[in-house]
Amino acid sequence: MIIDALVAEIGSTTTVVNAFDHLDDNPRFLGSGFSPTTVLEGDVTIGLNNALDQLKQKLGVSDLSAKEFFASSSAAGGLKMSVHGLVYDMTVKAAKEAALGAGANLKYITSGIIDEYQIQEIKKMPLNIIMISGGVDYGERKTAIENAEKIAALKKNIPVIYAGNIQNQTVIKEIFQKNNQQEYLYITNNVYPKIDVLDVDETREIIQNAFEKHIIHAPGMEKVKEIVHESIIPTPGAVMQASILLQKALGDLVTIDIGGATTDVHSVTKGQEEIEKILISPEPFAKRTVEGDLGVYINKDNIIQMIGQDKIREKLGMNLETWNDMIHQYQPIPNQRQLPVTELLAKEALRQALQRHCGKLISMFTGSGKTTYAEGKDLTNVKYIIATGGALTRLNHRKEIIQEVLSNRDNRLLLPQQNTQILIDNDYIMASLGVLSKKHPEAALRLLKKSLGIR
């Protein structure tokens, strides 16, 4: 059987392969195959092939090939980056927003000129990409130049993106040529060209291109690159791509992806004009936060500690022996016995992640008295909450979980309204469609609307 496209999503706990056909006229989602990800077995293609085998069984075919084979990946920690800028609340923040929006997992952030201790940290870290920013255009130059000299001298042979003061671009090129690292250097727009202006879109694209060209970041990924002859991008970046595509069609939205290791929140909204006028610092139109301590499998113990084990057991009517046995047997894809616990963990992950992502109103005393300002991302204008990821597409009470989190609110937080419409990615294909949208945007949008139940 030959179809138009296969898209593999290689996650930290689960590998999924989705099949699509008739992309040019009447796009169809044919089905999915699942398997535990096999990083720990030393080869992610084992899980990929297992997922393909399950997909073949579901489709009732012995042979399956595709004209195009795409992939996204967040296995083995995903896209690991460090960011180095001038002032934390300005150029560092702008670079950080660009990196997170592209799907990166930020491992290290510095502001100012990097010292010897920080250089040693960068040297020993298993980074995939380094980003240097600093200085508005035609502003401060010294910090970015010195940081570039120190990073280039490390000769890590990984992509380095320069997204700072445009006056430094020629000097930065010369520094990397001198250190024989010019093939790894990417130069793009300044992410913070003027005070209170963010310009991160082109940098996000550069990050994803560098990821695809240079990075083999999980055991067996070199084999995946032989199988997959189209785009490979970070899974969170693919979800952001799909969110931006959907926002253009529907309006402002928040996408929530609760996974086994992390919880990602993507918001695509400008917010309310009244809030924008009192913002302390600018926020990107498309923003992503990733909470590395909030996952319902790998990081389940963190969430259990946040809620309290005794509180969970009391709520579920479970004695200590039963609890310990169930947690010992806990699976990446929970069974019926474990589902009630997973739902409680998902609810807490969602609550924490939304509160960390959204902005808040703060009061400050000035010469003219007490004044209210806004800090962070305003989600009050959001029309839709999109639920994707394993937990929020498969749990029985997924909508109730989201509704309960929205109803228990702090009026100081700039959260979505209680009546925000909840849409579920029922086919669990949002990340795959984000990858697919880079080449087939119209088909991806139609399939995404269908998965969300939008006519």
Rounded-to-10 torsion of CA 291, 297, 301, 305: 60
Q: Which two tokens stand for residue 169?
A: 């671009």
Distance CA 317, CA 326 (A): 13
Q: Which two tokens stand for residue 385?
A: 């909450």
Q: How many other C-beta atoms lie within 10 A of the C-beta of residue 294?
A: 26
Provide the sign of the torsion angle of the four alpha carbons 72, 433, 349, 278, taken in this order. positive
What are the domain boundaries of the chain?
Answer: 2-76+218-227, 79-210, 238-295+348-427
Burial environment of residue 269 by CB neighbours within 10 A (0 to 12, 13 to 18, 19 or more) = buried
Give me the CATH code for the 2-76+218-227 domain, please.
Answer: 3.30.420.40
Q: Where are the alpha helices (DSSP H) in 116-191?
A: 116-124, 142-154, 169-178
Q: How many residues does the chain have?
A: 455
Tell me what pLDDT residue 232 has.
Answer: 82
Distance CA 405, CA 391 (A): 15
Superfamily holding 79-210: Cobalamin-binding domain (3.40.50.280)
List for the chain the helix, strand, coil content (%; round to 5). 40, 25, 35
Tell me what pLDDT residue 120 has.
Answer: 95
Q: Are 392 and 398 in contact (CB under 8 A)?
A: yes
User: Which residues, in sequence order, are CB contacts of 175 under 8 Å at separation 6+?
Assistant: 145, 148, 149, 152
3-state secondary structure of 271: coil
Q: How many other C-beta atoms lie within 10 A of the C-beta of residue 125?
A: 15
CATH topology (fold) of 238-295+348-427:
Nucleotidyltransferase; domain 5 (3.30.420)
10-residue stretch averages of pLDDT, the chain, 455 residues long? 93 87 95 86 85 94 93 76 91 87 85 95 92 95 97 95 96 97 95 90 87 63 76 86 96 94 92 92 90 87 94 93 90 86 95 94 79 93 94 91 91 93 95 94 97 92
Q: Note whether 2-76+218-227 and 238-295+348-427 share their fold.
A: yes
What is the distance between the terminal CA atoms of the chain, rounded to a whole angstrom? 30
Q: Where are the alpha helices (DSSP H) in 376-429?
A: 389-394, 398-407
Distance CA 152, CA 177 (A): 9
Beta strands in 11-128 (DSSP E): 14-21, 28-36, 65-73, 79-85, 104-111
Interaxial angle between packed helices 93-101 and 201-214, expressed in degrees from 0 to 180 and rounded to the nearest 10: 60
pTM (two decimals): 0.84
> What phi, psi does 448 have (nearest 5°)?
-70, -45
